[in-house]
Structure formats: C-alpha cells, structure tokens
Chains A and B, each alone.
Chain A
Amino acid sequence: MNDPREPALRLQGIVKTFPGVRALDGVDFEVMPGEVHALLGENGAGKSTLMKVLAGMYQPDEGQIIIAGQPVRMTTPIEAKAQGVVLIHQELSLVPEMSAAENIYLGELPRRSLGRVDWKTLEERSNAILTRLKCKFRAEVTVAHLSIANQQMVEIARALTVDARVVVFDEPTASLTDAEKVVLFDIINDLKAQGVGIVYISHRMDEIFTLSDRITVLRDGAYRGTLTTAETNEDEVTRLMIGRSLDLSRNEAPRDFGKTMLEVQKLTCPGLFEDVSFSVRAGEVVGFYGLVGAGRTEIAETLFGLRVPDSGEIRIDGEPVAISSPRDAIAHGISLVPENRKEQGLVLQMTCRDNMTLPQVQNLTTGPFVSQSAELAIFDQYRDKLAIKTPSWRQSAGVLSGGNQQKIVIGKWLSMQPRVLIVDEPTRGIDVGSKSEIHQLLRDLAAQGYAVIVISSEMPEVLRVSDRIVAMYHGRIMREFTIDEVTEDSLVQAISGIKTTEAA
C-alpha cells in the first residue's frame, strides 16, 4: 500500500518559537514505511514540541511536513489522523468510565438510523482490532477496570482504527512491567511488518537498541544527527545527546556504615505487603527492586504515615515509633521523595522556592511572618548543591524540566535534614544526563551519612546506587543481596518469585 522508497513522513527544516524560546531550530526528521525510527533527546530537547507539530497541535513557524511525497498542512489532530499520523500519548487519554470499544471509536461511533449507536458493529470491530493486538480482554470491558498496560493497548487499538501511515509512541513503556513490554514490542514489530512507519520516543537506551532501525538525536531544539542503530552504540548516542559520555558502572563505593537508623520488623498491610523486615544504616543506600505492584511504594507510604500498617514495628535510631501521619514521619526524621513528582511532589503553579520550603514553612518565620530571607537561604543552598537550573526562584515549578523538578523535590526533603531519606523511582521520565547526576547525588548523600532507601524498577539504577538490594515479589521480601554478591540473574529470579537454592 505504501511506496517503500518514499518516506512515509518527512519533516524539513522545522522551526517553532515560543516567546523567549526557540523550541525547534531547523529540525529534519523522516520515517520510512516499515521502519522504527527512535527519537532521542534530553528533557527539553524539543521532542514533545516536534511531536505536537507532527500531530497538528502546533503549527511550525517555518519548514515543511511531507507525507507520502505531498507537502501537507495539518492544523488539528483530526487532520493529522486523516493523513494517517497517529500519536500514542505518554499520558493516556481514555475515558475511564466507558468501555474499551467506545474508547477505541470515540468520536466516530458506528451509527444506525436516528443517530443511535450501532453497538453490535462497534463491538465486532473493536474485538477484531483487539484480537489483532493479541489482547486477552474483550472490548465490552470498562476501561477503568483494565491495567495500565491494557489501557495502553486500547490507546494503540484506537490508532489502528484509521489506516495509519505513521504511529508515534511517546514513552510507551513508562508504566509497563517487563512482561507487558514484550507484548508491546511484538505489536510494534507487527505494525512495522505491515509497512507502518513507527516513531519511537523513549529515554530507555536498551529499548531503543532492541527496537529501532535508526536513531535521530535532538539537543537544545536542534537536529544533532541520525544514526543507523546497527552501526552505533549507547556511548555514541549518549555523547550526541548530552555532549559527553555516560557512566554505566556498578556502585563500588567503600562501605563504611554507621549505626542502624531505620529498622522495620514484620511490617504487614494485608493485600499490599506482608511480614516485611529490613534495616538501613547511616551511610548506606538500600535499593528496593521489584516489579510494578510488588508492594515497594506501599511500604514507603507506610513508613511516611500515609498508610496504617496492620501489625509490625518501626524503629528509628533504636526507638520504636508510632507513625500515623506524614507529620509524624517528618517529626521522626523520615523524608519521602514520592513516585509521581507532578501529582505528589510539587504544587506546579507555586514558585520553586515555595515548593522547596513547603514542609517547613511554618518554622521559617520571624514573628508571624514567613521569613523570605530564611526561605531564600534554603533555596539557594539546595539550588547550588543539586545544580538546579532555573532562571529564578520565582519560576513556577511546572515549567521546569523533569530532571530539575525532581531536584526541587529532592531539595525539599534534604532541607528537612532527614535521618532516613526514601526516594521512590527517582529518575522516572528523566533524561540520561539528569539521571546520572541524581545517581551521583544519592551516592554523595550516603557518603555524607544519610540512610537512604531507593525504590526503583530499573536494574541498572539499583546496581549503580545501592550498597544492599532488597528484592520484592508480591508484597514479600524474597531475598536481600549485598552489592558484591548480587548477579543480574539472581535478581531477576528473586523478583519473579523463583526461589533459588541458596535462598533461605
């Protein structure tokens, strides 16, 4: 159906400016039919803007969009879809109360006479698409009841209702488990085999090397080059992306721990986690590794007073403590950098400074008034310490890049001088450059004597920052490793629930 020699889509010299920012500066990009073309760049490099141009949400100031040899103008996503360009959003855009079928054909439900919905055709067609995607659920099911991975399938199914020439995946694996990723990759390969051009945006190097045929790198809104995946390596791509090489090593810091800061005994919250016991010493980073839903975040939330445990004991600095609210946790020196920085970590319209001082603003006073100088002192200290890039403390947190937002949240909790710092998925959705900065930061904190818990679903991350690794499966601790004894195989086995012979 598509001419294989002609690019399915070509962008030429795309320029897009916003007040004060040149978001895209003459970007070229093309995707051939049946090709997976990865688009890489740090946060703020211009990927999202480029995708919005592609999807008809932004109009380029200069440059051309050429689809199947014809220059086109797309002023709405509907026009883009009519041209066969479909975007699978990073944040799902489904109506949770509706069925999968209704979502798939949202806006173009098949009709019978008098405008009534033709439910039978709707469900037949939807089920046909879901079958093509090898989905195990039926189109009649309500979307809210589906897992995130299956919701994403619905989103993909929606893209397939049109004769798609180009499908754009924007960070599709951010919330998928490894097994779900495999299914997604199969689908992408199927689409590819059917001659669809795929644009794949991700921060995850391993995925890009598994999936893509070519890689185009953006940096600071400018085109930095296109590489053939088979002829390049991670190092070259990273250098192109951040302008220097990346450290991919395992944590080898000398281990010199202080006393036990946090001790958890038989902590149980039925249905979430059971019989969880572990400890963290001063100067130590303990990594919690496991699949999404293994109960790691729930343990963190319990330690931070957001959930009430059924039984078990928490000791801080040797003293048993009762924690029934975040205020209690804070008073006992526990800080939590939560999993989802936009929803749980930041008040997006507040200034950077106000976000950072929020947990202690009531203590930063002269008389009844908040002391601006005390606040600024804290902000300046942690802006410098964490190398936060923001033009001013007045900037609202919402406009910063993901990496800088995360640093604001980390700064907010470091400024509380915690005895135990819990960090949940510290680098989710963050570009490679900021990622390694945050890893280094976590190591530095340990060196300064903080007791740190890092929850992560990424094995390289856990290996890079931890002194000890706790592997969890279905709400239970399966095994504990020191960084010296751990192997990737044993870790994978432990988090998949496979009992190894040496495990107790």
Chain B
Amino acid sequence: MLMTRLKAGGPAIAKQGILVAFIVFMIAFSLMSDRFLSADNIMSVFRQSAIIGVMAIGATIVVIGGNLDLSVGSMLSFATVLVVDLHDKIGPELAIPVMVLATLCLGAINGFLIGILRLNSLIVTLGMLSAIQGLVLIYSGGQNVDIVDQRGTWFAIFGRGAVFGIATPIIIFGTLALIFHIIMTTMPFGRRVHAVGGNPTASVFSGIPRSRVVFMTYLISALCVAIAAIILGSRVMGSQNNVGQGYELQVLAAVILGGTSLLGGSGSILRTVLGVLMLAFIQNGLILMGQPYYTQWLVTWVVIIVAVWLDVAAKRGRLFSPIA
C-alpha cells in the first residue's frame, strides 16, 4: 500500500524536484549566512543572473527545438566587444543596431548550417564557438576595449540603471522571459518548435517548415545573446576579448536544471529562469561562505548531475539503471 502510494506520488514530486532542491539550498545557505537572504543580496543575485538568464532563454528555445547552441559564449564576447568598441566610434544609438545585426548574422550562420543544411548542431556550434572567438581576436587585434566617457553616456542605463528601484538588467530579463514564455506556450511558433523538437519527421509530414523553424530558433538565440551583450557592455563599460568564455556551459547548465529535455520537444522558459536563479544563488552562497569562486564549478556540476540523475530515476521508478 505504502509502496503504491509512493510510486503514485513519485512523479508529482519529481516534477517539482528542482523547486524542492532550490528551497533546500535556500534554507541551507540562509542558516549558514545572515546576509544570504537580505534584500540587498537577493537583488544583487537577480541582477548578476540577468546575463546568463537572457542567454538561457534563447538556448531553451534552441534545445526545445531539438538542438544545442554552444556558440553563445563566444558570441557574447563578440557582441560585447563590438558594441563597446563601436560606442566611442559611432555612438551608442548606431553601435547597438549594428552589433545586433552582426550578432544575428552569426545566428543566421548557425541556423543555415543546422536548419537548412541539417548538420549536427553539436559540431556546428562547437565549431562556431572556436571560430567566433577567433573572429573577436582578429577584430580587436587582441586589445581589450573600453568606453572612455563612462559617466556621460545613456548607454549606462542597461547595465547600471534602475526603474522604480529595480535594476534594469532584472527588468530586461524578466520581460524577455515573460515574452518568450508567452510565445512558446500560446503562439503557433512555439507549438511548431515543440513539434520539430519532439519529432522532426512527423513535423515535416504535418507541413511544418522544419528548416525555417530551426533557423528561427538560432536567430532568437543570437538575439538573446545580443541583448545580454548590451547589459554586460553597459555594466562593465569595457570588454575583454574572451569575456563570454565558459558562459555556454553555465547557460546549458541552467537549461538542464530547468528540466528542459536535451532530446527536444519539451521544456519551459519559466523553469529555465528557476534554473538560472538556482545556479546564481548557489554561486552567491558559496562566495558568502568564503569559498573561492572556482568552487562553484565543482558544486554547480555536482548539483546538475545529481538533479539529472534524480529526474531520470523518478521517471524510471528506480535509482539505478533499468535493464533495457
């Protein structure tokens, strides 16, 4: 009797596994550090998570469509270097659209290779990860870039500004998450992305333009990277050549923690937001506890692997591998 009830209750708890883990972490950290749950700290974690968060929105859509995007890290370097460099050369009102267009072009290359030519997304975006990093170095000649007049430019609003006391990055992240959540859950495009990721063949047999849908997911991913670059450039008012290095893994980590299936076809942007916040709070908690920042890498991935394991175990109904 008890077993049956456990089994029946299992999937329901498993569905909320990430949420449960999140709450456990929050309680544990708040017991260990007084500052952890202070309003200041929470706002600052939200603000810091915005860049990864915005990128993770695009990545979630790519993954629901059945593909991966590992190029977002170097794409972020590219976009940030470009917007910061152009800021002083042609002014922010031109620098932003030029950068967005250039970044969309990179997304279009991904989309063309993966959507139209049907190449493997892991290979293409891994290649793009390296190729774009090269492009950045060629463009900047290896120099880091800076904005000279950091106080006088309205560009500062995206990274450093606030509206009604809420930091702009949080507002941008929240708004984008909401918009894309609505697109993915209530609009035909979202339905098509789910279908293409869930079963590409059946989608074609249903008259869905599979290539175009996949192409669009990469454009959206690039757009999100461009927006993230505006926040980052504006906050730092300068950029290193490799500022986005490693972001692709954090983004992917957030998507996985949010429970989006890497096989495609299912996933949720709001849950990715939860994944983003969880990562950010873990990292923040570790720092407050005086751990060096690189501990976060170890802890983050242990958490992810355990989360994925529990998730799969809940679906299988047992902790260890099934027979077939």
Contacts and interface: CB of A to CB of B under 8 A. Distances in A.
Given A362-B188, A370-B191, A326 B206 contact: yes
Pairs of residues from A and B, 5 with the lowest C-beta to C-beta distance, nearest first: A347-B198, A362-B188, A326-B207, A347-B199, A358-B206
15 contacts: A17-B4, A19-B8, A306-B205, A325-B207, A338-B205, A345-B202, A346-B202, A347-B194, A347-B199, A347-B203, A350-B195, A354-B194, A354-B195, A358-B206, A361-B192
A350 B206 CA distance: 14
Contacts of A325: 207, 209
Interface string B1-12: 000100110000
Given A77-B323, A362-B188, A369-B186, A344 B205 contact: yes
B191 A354 contact: yes
Contacts of B191: 354, 358, 361, 370
A121 interface: no
A450 B7 CA distance: 48
Interface in B183-231: 186-188, 191-192, 194-195, 198-199, 201-209
Contact of A358 (B201, B208, B323, B324): B208
B203 A19 contact: no
A304 B324 CA distance: 37
A469 to B, nearest CB: 26
A348 interface: yes
A330 interface: yes
A348 B205 contact: no
A365 B188 contact: yes
B87 to A, nearest CB: 34
Interface string B268-299: 00000000000000000000000000000000
Contact of B198 (A76, A344, A349): A349
B187 A359 contact: no
Contacts of B265: 347, 349-350
Contacts of A345: 202, 205
A362 B202 CA distance: 17
Interface in A2-20: 17, 19-20
B250 interface: no
Contacts of B324: 57, 77
A54 to B, nearest CB: 14
A368 interface: yes
Contacts of A358: 191, 195, 203, 206, 208
B188 A344 contact: no
Contacts of A369: 186-187
B242 interface: no
Nearest to B204: A326
A336 B205 contact: yes
B266 interface: yes
Interface string A360-383: 011011001110000000000000
B199 A346 contact: yes
A343 B199 contact: yes
* Most chain A CB inside 10 Å of its own CB: which residue of B8, B195, B206: B206
Nearest to A344: B205
Nearest to B195: A347
A113 B324 CA distance: 30
A347 B207 contact: no
Interface string B237-275: 000000000000000000000000000011000000000
Contacts of A306: 204-205
B7 to A, nearest CB: 6
A344 B7 CA distance: 33
Interface in B139-197: 186-188, 191-192, 194-195
